[in-house]
Each structure stands twice: as structure tokens, then as C-alpha cells.
Amino acid sequence: MKDRIVPSYPSIARLEEHLSLKSLSARTREEYPRYIRKLAERFGKDPALLEEQDARAYLLYLKEKKKYAPSSMRIAVAAIQMFFGGVLGHDWKLFSIVRCPDLQRLPIVLSREEVRRLLSEVHEPRFRVILRLIYSCGLQVGEAVSLRVGDIHAAEQRIHIREAKGGKDRYGRYRQGCSSDCASSGRPTATRS
């Protein structure tokens, strides 16, 4: 089903300005107004005219009827709190009541032998090197993809991870074997800093 066109409300424009002034991420500046537009569409009026019970009913609708996952619910709650609390100045009890806990699942952890077997099946050296770095440093895929040759410091057995989670740089340590893998892959291994 195609989304209906929601009128442009001045209150949503105020939210967009508020988000920009707070220097929030581009993704947040896209998502929060989108959730408030959905809220406006659901009630068919300017969201600034809604009351606390309307916001509560909407969150229940998302959780119970639409079956939003906890992560999506957290974004919806944060958007509604930013709009009604941050932009409109409402201090509603609702903001302190709503909780969206994740399901607690144990992570799947491979044994060292399973990791060895997995890596032994990767025959292309450049892929094996990056997979070993991901494993030994606990890198996220995006962090590994953005690595440059100059980020690997062989002498200190560390790598410079740029714009890691939260947009922050950090350093990570790697095992000695990764350094020899880098050398055998035919690529320069590192800077000597």
C-alpha cells in the first residue's frame, strides 16, 4: 500500500530545525520527522494538537497492532519524546513509563577450531586477511571495509579504526599472525609509526 501524502505542518518543520540545531546524525534527522509524519497521518491533524493520551494510543498501536520490534519502538519513542518534550515543551509522564527492552539472546560463538576450519576454506589471501582482522580485532564489517593500508601499524600490532561506532576513531590490537598474513597477501602491511 502506498503512503498517503501528509500535509506539511509547521510543527514538523520546527522539529527538523530542532534536530539540526542539536547536530544529530543525518539518519536521526530523517527518521524522527518520518515517525512524526506517520503520527500525523494516523490522527489526520497537526501532531502539535495531539494530547498525551493520543501519543500513548499511538505507541500502543505500533507495539500491539503493527508489532514493531523493540529497536523500532525505541526510535518511535525517542522521536515522540523529542517532538513533544524537546520542541513543544510537554513534560508528560508517558516519557518515563515507556520501555522497549530487547529480547535477551545468547550470541553464537564459534570455537577456535571452527574459526580455523572456516578460515582454511577461504583461499583468496586478501579475503582471508580481512576476515582474520575482523575476527582478531572484533571489527564490525563497516569498520573493516573502511580500513586502509596505512591504518595497520605492524610494529605495535595495532590498527587505527576510523569512524567506528558512534563516529569515533579508536585503536584495536591484532594477533601476530595477522601481520604475517598481510605480508603474504602481497600488499604492504603497515606504516612504521
Q: What is the pLDDT of residue 51?
A: 96
Provide the pairing of β-strand 170-173 with 152-153: unpaired
Among 12-21, 39-48, 75-84, 114-123, whose mean pLDDT is lowest? 114-123
Distance from the first to the final alpha carbon of the chain: 57
Give the ranges where 44-175 is alpha helix by DSSP (H): 52-60, 70-81, 94-97, 112-120, 125-137, 141-145
Over 80: is that where the pLDDT of 176 sits?
no
Predicted TM-score (pTM) of the model is 0.58
Which residue is it, cell 550470541? 107
Summarize the confidence of residues 12-25 as an average pLDDT: 93
What is the Cα Rg of the chain in Å? Answer: 24
Per-residue pLDDT tens over the stretch 31-83: 999 999 999 999 999 999 999 999 999 999 999 999 999 999 999 999 999 99
* Domains observed in the chain: 10-97 (1.10.150.130), 112-184 (1.10.443.10)
Summarize the confidence of residues 141-168 as an average pLDDT: 83
Per DSSP, the three-state class of 68 is coil
Over 70: is that where the pLDDT of 184 sits?
no
